[in-house]
Amino acid sequence: MAAPRLVIDLDKIEHNARTLVESLATRGISVTGVTKATLGSPEIARSLLRSGVSGLGDSRIENIEAMRHAGVDAPMTLIRSPMLSQVERVVQHADVSFNTDADVIAALSAAAQAARRSHSIVLMVELGDLREGILPADLSDLVGWTLSLPNLDLAGIGTNLACQSGVAPDSGNMDELSGLARSIESTHGVSLDVVSGGNSANLRWASSGCDTGRINDLRLGESILLGTDPLDASPIDGLHHDAIVLVAEVIESASKPSQPRGEVGRTAFGPVPTPVDRGDIIRTILAVGRQDVDPDGLAPPQGISVLGASSDHLVVDSGGHRLEAGSEITFGLDYGALVRSMTSPHVERLMIGGGRDAAGTRVFPGP
């Protein structure tokens, strides 16, 4: 079977998404399933939709277009502020986009008019993490600007935390978002359908039992795909943590020294620490490298440890066992490793579950 390959268990992804959808429903919060780490995979998108997510979100219009072309039928939100150079594509293919810039919003209005469509806007507010977002003091003016433009609907407001500076969602910043929603509604005489509180890092806040206020949407990617909480990479109870794994193939396995010989400089990827001398070890080499995955985000099976990686080789200590060329090792992934693998053209994808057998073959005609 082709390697390296991601093995993607659609049933486990669906289980994770359904579990989160059901638990957040009890708090009055719906889930936007985020597909950006999957390159807009239509199979994964359909698994999310089967689980009951209210819509799909992706940061790249190319991924949204790929899902549309594959016939995925769902409300789709572009969750990154559109590039001016892409506004026509955005109004054509996305129902909603997240916005922070007055010029971009004006261009979306013009593009929507030209296409005789209407486009919905969620304004993103900066609440401490210092990635995208309008400062709270500037929000009301941008709401007024958005409402003044033809062919645009103001769907709501949102925020994003824990991505740039690691600021955790808590009742302080979430209450601030709810307060902003209320004040926009009373100042401008509108009602906001969407108050989107954040991403997988919001789950701890959402399950803490505190008042969720006006927040009625979370955008979830990592927690659905990997079952982990981005705040500390901890596994979330009740979710699968191996819905997506990476399988790589052994191309060499031999007993060699644990320490390099000769004068040590940098490698192509920067300085590397000199390992402690443990005598000879079995060094096993896999045909996978930094072009395919972030080696720091790999979780090897018990008894195996990652020693290092270059563009195309991953060297592991296989715990005293010589592995034959052609044998395979399965690794767990963190989010960074997942994104790299999903976007590498060298990594195959094998979908299982969702009506397929263990070899990934469809066992009944699906949607």
Ligand X SMILES: *Cc1c(COP(=O)(O)O)cnc(C)c1O
Question: Where does this chain bind ligand X (CB under 6 A)?
Answer: 34, 36, 59, 79, 160, 199-201, 219-223, 230
Q: How far is the CB of 219 from ligand X (least distance, A)?
A: 4
Quickly tell me which residue has 């929507």 as its tokens: 112
Q: How far is the CB of 162 from ligand X (least distance, A)?
A: 7
Q: d(Cα 48, Cα 25) in Å, to the nearest integer?
A: 15
Q: d(Cα 238, Cα 235) in Å, to the nearest integer?
A: 9
List phi, psi (to 5°) of 144: -60, -45
Q: How far is the CB of 272 from ligand X (least distance, A)?
A: 30
Q: d(Cα 316, Cα 355) in Å, to the nearest integer?
A: 35
Amino acid at position 293, single letter:
V
C-alpha closest to that of 161 among 186, 190, 131, 182: 131
Q: Catalytic: which of 15, 18, 36, 214?
A: 36
Q: How far is the CB of 346 from ligand X (least distance, A)?
A: 23
Decide whether 79 or 298 has the Cβ nearer to ligand X: 79
Active site residue 36: yes
Burial (CB < 10 A; 0-12, 13-18, 19+), residue 23, is middle
Q: Is 90 helix (H, G, I), strand (E, B) or coil?
A: helix
Residues making up the chain, counted from first to last: 367
Active site members:
36
